[in-house]
Copies of this chain bind each other. A is one copy, B any other.
Amino acid sequence: MVKYSSQMLNRTFAALADPTRRRILAHLARGDRCVTHLARPHAMSLPAVSKHLRVLEKAGLLRRRRYGRVHEMQLEARPLKQAAQWVEEYRKFWEGSLDRLADYLEKTTQPPPKKRGK
């Protein structure tokens, strides 16, 4: 069993729950990028993108380095590892889906605790 920091997972999953932020991460996966570059494909203002970057940064999903006025962002995937491990604990459930369907059918034909007849 793996131990997780709840706070960390909160931030990580919350960061991943936004499609703009996922797209930003996807871009960073192809190399380091500055803010303006990351903003270009997104139909929103620069401050909006700036906020998304701050969320990702707080979640530890990117690292920022300044070269003069240019902020260069680098993907930092470690929190994703934690998230992946958390989700991984449930793998048996999505892999055992047929068994669970069997359970389900069994239960619906003969309903569980305290309930009899229909």
Q: Is the CB of A80 within 8 A of B90?
A: yes
Choice from B9, B14, B22, B115 contacting A22 with Cβ under 8 Å: B9
User: Size band of the A side of the interface?
Assistant: 35 or more
Chain A residues touching B, majority SS: helix
With A9-B22, A17-B10, A18-B10 as known contacts, state yes or no: A88 contacts B93, CB within 8 Å: no
Q: Is the CB of A77 within 8 A of B65?
A: no
Q: List 28 A-B contacts (CB under 8 A).
A: A6-B19, A6-B22, A9-B22, A10-B18, A10-B19, A13-B13, A17-B17, A25-B90, A32-B107, A34-B116, A67-B111, A67-B112, A67-B115, A68-B115, A70-B115, A72-B116, A74-B100, A75-B90, A78-B94, A80-B87, A80-B90, A80-B94, A81-B91, A81-B94, A83-B87, A84-B84, A84-B87, A84-B91
